[in-house]
Chain A
Amino acid sequence: MEKSGSVDSVESLCSSTTTRSDRSSGTRVSDTELRSKGRAIEKVYKDTSKGELPLLPEELVQDSAKDVTYICPFIGPVRGSLTVTNYRLFFRCTDREPVFGLDLPLGVLSRVEKIGAATSRGDVSYGLACKDMRNLRFVHKEPEDSLKKSVFEVLMKFAFPVSNNMSLFAFEYKQVFPENGWRVYDPLAEYKRQGLPKESWRISKVNDRYELCDSYPAALVVPVTITDEELRRVSSFRAKGRIPVLSWIHPESQAAVVRASQPMVGQNGRRCKEDEKLLQAIMDANAQSHKMFIFDARPSVNAAANKMKGGGYESEDAYQNAELVFLDIHNIHVMRESLRKLKEVVYPNIEDSHWLSNLESTHWLEHIKLILAGSLRIADKVESGKTSVVVHCSDGWDRTPQLTSLALIMLDSHYRTIRGFQILLEKEWLSFGHRFQQRVGHGDKNHTDADRSPIFLQFIDCVWQMTRQFPAAFEFNEYFLLTILDHLYSCLFGTFLCNSEQQRLKEEVPKHTVSLWSFVNSQLEEFVNPLYVHYASHVLFPTVGIRHLQLWVTYYIRWNPRMRPQEPVHQRYKELLAKRAELQKRVEELQREAANRTASSTSERAGSPTRSITPVQTFV
């Protein structure tokens, strides 16, 4: 089921890839050279000046063109050559020293279009809109021969493989890593780690074949008192069959975080006895409280409007000991619009004089604030109120995972470690069916698709905000979060493909693609926050005021050349750690030496004259 087992030794890894490169086309540089590191950047540049391209295993050059002009919004037009592979777009300037380049995975492209008609000289302008907060513009002379395809037509084909009935590059990429990231998350092990009490909760196999709910995982945790038959009834009452199931349980109070989708109440106020029983059972499973909170992520107006479409929210008559709270978080369309405005404000240039009010008018930070505030309320009810909570929005796959996973990060320090965070993503986002394919639109040229929305980006932004407030509480660094976002779009790894666990299984994604975690976990040191202090059972309550939220400039403004990426504190800390290790070694050496010397000096007190040179301890 999984792709070729992990390889332990570096040697075997190198040899296996070199042989593969031998078979491939001539433009290929050897993989050993690719992987040579440290001075990677300069290396790449030197290679490119010779006209060579750093290629990944199974990456093949599809087309290239000389005499393309990249219209850089920061330094103006740059002439060079453009190469398109089945994975990336590579632009390298030819007419200037120093070397200048662009290197981006095709997955980040959301739109490629011709702008205007050809000029009298036959120049055509192309605009490339990217998912990662930038737009690129190229000017290129159309080929004389009308039969020959322009490099941009090739680009369009490979940028949107799904629309062209091709497979994503993730299915080609065959890099082998020492660790297999597809094994990071094991639901049973995770629920065991949480200390799931067997007397009140059970792991149901009712969704083993994804028949109860095709967007839910196979393993579902429900109260022991509810039968599978009752669950089936509940599933017809919850939108998309997404029934209330356990996400996390407090190790001491046993207050639970439960997630669901909206109840199908409709205009007539339909009720479902099994659903009511299920929520009562969830409440009863926690002896500490006789109350529970239902957090509806939506603004109350939206929740009410959903009744027209058959949805709605829990009425307090039907759910007697439950208190319903609306969290006022807007839907995917509002968030998409907000990010669009943000992109206008940050790219390419920032307007100096109205930066803050422009930023405010995007409402991006306001949305971040509401999401964090909602998560904080959930975490607080569970931790301080010892109350179980149910979280849902409409379908329970956008705002719900944002809220539950942020609340879980606040509540459980395990999720603040690198591997714990991977588990959290695998569980709350991937297994519970956040519709990554739809929201990101991997390889799909339909850029106006109303289902696209930066929900996951928003979540990562919230996590970043928390790492700013608690710089020592997270094991991972900023680069880890950036890497996740880069590969959310890159389509190099299989991790963020498809919409649900069921789809991923059907497409055999774990078998045919590499997991992002294979890459990450094979070089963990790159992603470690050196300031991390592990303190167990420590709950984080971030401050969600707008005063403490800031725009994540290293993500949103990173294309601006005036932006210097640096983490001086972390870097300095690493140097200090190295220094400490060195000193420790020397002290230990001297200690040993001194011990030997005292041992020997006691035996031959008369001593040799040489010892008087080293006065250490001799004056005693």
Chain B
Amino acid sequence: PTPGQTALPTYHGDLSPHPYLSPREIVVNEANFVRKCISAESCQDDLWGKLVCTNFKVSFITHNSLPRQCTHRLLGEHDIPLACVEQVVTVNDVKGKQKILGSNQKLKFNPTELILYCKDFRIIRFRFDEAGPESAKKVCLAIAHYSHPADPQLLFGFEYVGKRYHGSTACTRVVCSGERMNGIDPGGGMQTTLFDCSSDWDREIKRTGASEWRVCTINQGYFISPSLPEFFVVPVSLADQDLKQYACFFYSQRIPLWCWNHSSGSALVRMSNISDPQQQRKVEQRISSAITKSHPLRSDVFKSDLDKNLPNIQDIQAALLKLRQICVIDPFEESEEKWLSSLESSRWMEYVRTFLRHAVEVVYMLESRNVPVILLEKEDRDLSCVISCLVQLMCDPHCRSLHGFQGLIQKEWVMAGHRFLDRCNHLKKNDKEESPVFLLFLDCVWQLWNQYPAAFEFTEVYLTVLGDSMWVPIFSTFLFNCPRQRAENSRWDWSQQFSLKDQTLFNNPLYVGKIATCVQNGTVKTFTHRRSKKNYSSTLRGLPSALRNGSLGPNDTLARRNSLVLRLRSDLSQVREQQETPSERFIRDFFSRPVDLQGLLLPQLLPSHLSVWKLYFLRWVPEAQIPQGGPITAFHKLSVLTDEIDMLQNQLRQYKGAGGTPNNLHAEHSKMYFKATSTPHQPPAPPEYLSSSFPFSPVGNLCRPGILGSPLSKFLNGAKIWLSTETLANETI
């Protein structure tokens, strides 16, 4: 057993009459004979059990079990962390009363029903028909109270984190490295860089070749700015003394931060507004010229004003609320009719696209114009996090590995001081500060991932779970407003939450397979598309479709740069001139070349090429689930194949004298969630429990209010109308 397992025994969820409690977790209140609603249309599938409120979660303890899904180590299948509860609604359907409960409130009626709206889009309902009215009321009030902690100290994570790490920091690194997946670390023996020490930044400077930049330590002990990290990177030409002097001009003393260097030497820097207008020009000039001095060609700095070009945090929050409304709150069939236009009016997809496009513009400046870029944002703590990360993801393949990506989040979000506590509104104090900036970022990453799935080491399950982690306060990365609050406690240790087996769901078989094919023989081998001897297509197909209507051939990029052919002839004045901006040209150039997954990646920005992140937004919607279908079925097939390759390589290693008993070893160490069978030539059919929601399940997780008890006809309008009752009966578990 690994140290991690002894510290946190796996939650089994079977037959235990008590909730599984983490260290320091205590039961606050509970009610018996509670019914958890499972399906919207009838109560026959409802589960009976005990509803428990602890200082960390809402737990429902039952003897029945639901269909298989990814099991959480700290949370049972019916558990909701308190931090994930968005709204607590109590209902008395006899009296027709309803109340939204906050902290320390009174309830004048006995609730017959409790509805929990969760931040991860779930809607969970409990009924108290058979429960004692008093205990039902008490448990509701307890849940409402504990899900609105008065101060950060009451967020369970603080206690938990304190206990887990206090005085034991020496062993945490050991724990992490010992838990590394299957011994062969995909990141080449690295783990997630935290950027909490000077040497981490030094390594990053070296890795990106930013020789004209240095680590600055003036903020050690947070003496200059509480929201900046203790160590950050500045141009070598700026002395500590100057920086200390400039600090006071910037918004909350945030000295401009170096993010990353492009291989051409152009730096990406983020900067907050200068509060004193009289000093603005002077300070800005000094900073800019210092950055220019650090550039190999002494190029002038390009300033990108994010506040001017991007939606603000309130816009983003409003968009998510609308998206949530159409995804999970509105009755399925109603939202179905106007789905596309409602999706458009939510503006979420538009914002995703705006951020991606802005990042592409910045990439263009760095990549093509070869100039350093400053990202300007008033506080430099929200929009810059998104843009700087996206730029690096597009340019730097290192950021597309699992550890590289986590390091990137650590660098640009955690250390740069994104206010997770406020943006998540964990304390439910100030709704104006709440904004899903991080989720928007994950959606942007997902779009890139969706367009280039083989370029990333992680899967969309990983991105989804990462998004959910904001609501599990154990994962202290997302609990605080700045690195100072976070202190020693930030760790990217997934084994706190998931078993090693479940963590393999994070591994992308396309990427893992790539490593497998490359490492062999020490040479990088590319498998060109094998064509058979005979091919009749070449002539019939004519030119490839991309070239047939005006785009240019694949080997023409150099020629086009100085080509003059776009000039119009005078007699064609009736033709609207195509005003192609240089950055549009840059994008078009990129798309006319074959893509190198280890090089620059630009997203397709046509609105038709961005899709809704279904796994995240629609996973709980029963009507939107594809039983035995969805991308997961392809993932399954790929995983099995990758696993076979891994197995064969183990065998080869064994033959070459590496020794060991690889076959037994393999099962434990496989990187893949779905494994090869012993008969490799008969690929196994995808397991029946797979669905487009896997590893999540809509069962019991989305009970929209207003459907229960409504006339049958209303249900019959639902999407499932197309299936007969026989099929529905087969479908339920």
Contact = CB atoms under 8 A, between A and B. Distances in A.
A and B from one complex: yes
A559 B549 contact: yes
Given A355-B608, A523-B532, A579 B516 contact: yes
B33 interface: no
B3 interface: no
Given A543-B624, A576-B642, A519 B536 contact: yes
Given A103-B543, A561-B546, A577 B641 contact: yes
Most chain B beta carbons < 10 A, residue from A546, A550, A590: A546
A281 B4 CA distance: 69
Contacts of A88: 542
Nearest to A564: B591
A123 B570 CA distance: 12
Contacts of B618: 547
A541 B652 contact: no
Contacts of A40: 535, 537-539, 541
Nearest to B545: A558
Nearest to B659: A619
Contact of B510 (A42, A103, A541, A569): A569
B513 A562 contact: no
Most chain B beta carbons < 10 A, residue from A98, A101, A470: A98
Given A360-B341, A564-B595, A578 B530 contact: yes
Contacts of B545: 558-559, 565
A385 B641 contact: no
Most chain B beta carbons < 10 A, residue from A38, A54, A569: A569
Contact of B531 (A38, A519, A563): A38
Given A357-B340, A380-B723, A614-B657, A575 B571 contact: no
Given A71-B575, A384-B727, A541 B627 contact: yes
A417 B17 CA distance: 51
B685 A35 contact: no
Given A76-B578, A569-B453, A547 B339 contact: yes
Contacts of A178: 534
Contact of A561 (B531, B549, B624): B549
Interface in A51-108: 54-56, 69-79, 88, 93, 95-104
A19 interface: no
Contacts of A381: 724
Interface in B641-661: 641-642, 644-645, 648-649, 651-652, 655-657, 659
Contact of B550 (A74, A99, A550, A565): A74
A560 B652 CA distance: 47
B629 interface: yes
Nearest to B621: A547
B466 interface: no
Interface string A345-371: 010001011111101100001000000
Contacts of A219: none
B626 A548 contact: yes
A70 B546 CA distance: 16
B577 A76 contact: yes
Interface stretch (A257-265, A580-588, A600-608): A580-588
Interface stretch (A241-249, A309-317, A525-533): A525-533
B529 A355 contact: no
Contact of B454 (A55, A519, A568): A568
Given A72-B549, A102-B549, A472 B641 contact: no
Interface string B590-626: 0110010100000011111101101000100101111
B345 to A, nearest CB: 8
Given A38-B531, A470-B633, A583-B652, A97 B569 contact: no
Contact of A357 (B344, B546, B572, B624): B344
B350 interface: yes
A553 B609 contact: yes
Nearest to B655: A590
Contact of B548 (A541, A553, A559): A559
B517 A35 contact: no
A598 to B, nearest CB: 12
B604 A98 contact: no
A566 B588 CA distance: 16
B98 to A, nearest CB: 29
Interface in B414-470: 452-454
A98 B552 contact: yes
Interface string A154-167: 00000000000000
B631 A560 contact: no
A197 interface: no
Contacts of B587: 562
Contacts of B605: 562
A124 B163 CA distance: 82
B340 A365 contact: yes
A545 B332 contact: yes
A319 interface: no
A583 B513 CA distance: 13
Interface string A275-298: 000000000000000000000000
Most chain A beta carbons < 10 A, residue from B543, B623, B649: B543
B531 A544 contact: no
A559 B604 CA distance: 15
Given A69-B572, A103-B548, A522 B655 contact: no
A583 B556 CA distance: 38
Interface string B36-64: 00000000000000000000000000000
B566 A75 contact: yes
A224 interface: no
A471 interface: yes
A322 to B, nearest CB: 16
Given A470-B629, A563-B546, A580-B641, A360 B540 contact: no
Nearest to A366: B337
Contact of A385 (B452, B568, B578, B724): B724
A535 B685 contact: yes
Interface stretch (B299-307, B313-321, B498-506, B557-565): B557-565
A106 B533 CA distance: 29
Given A357-B340, A541-B627, A587-B651, A139 B638 contact: no
A541 B547 contact: no
A541 B625 CA distance: 11
Contacts of B614: 547-548
Interface string B680-710: 1001011000001000000000000000000
A61 to B, nearest CB: 15
B722 interface: yes
A234 interface: no
B96 interface: no
A583 B652 CA distance: 8
B522 to A, nearest CB: 15
B527 interface: yes
Most chain A beta carbons < 10 A, residue from B531, B607, B621: B607
Nearest to B592: A561
Nearest to B566: A76
A615 interface: yes
30 contacts: A40-B539, A44-B542, A69-B569, A96-B563, A97-B559, A98-B555, A103-B542, A103-B543, A119-B571, A139-B572, A175-B536, A178-B534, A359-B340, A469-B629, A470-B626, A470-B629, A522-B536, A526-B537, A533-B633, A547-B612, A547-B624, A551-B608, A558-B545, A559-B545, A561-B591, A569-B638, A572-B454, A573-B641, A576-B513, A614-B657
Given A74-B578, A356-B349, 6 more contacts: A74-B550, A355-B608, A545-B624, A572-B510, A579-B527, A590-B655
Interface of A: 10, 34-38, 40-45, 54-56, 69-79, 88, 93, 95-104, 119, 121, 123, 134, 136, 139, 175, 177-178, 346, 350, 352-357, 359-360, 365, 373, 376-377, 380-381, 383-385, 469-473, 492, 519, 522-523, 525-526, 531, 533, 535, 538, 540-548, 550-551, 553, 557-566, 568-569, 571-580, 583-584, 586-587, 590-591, 594, 614-616, 619
The 5 closest A-B pairs by CB, nearest first: A98-B556, A561-B551, A40-B538, A103-B542, A72-B550
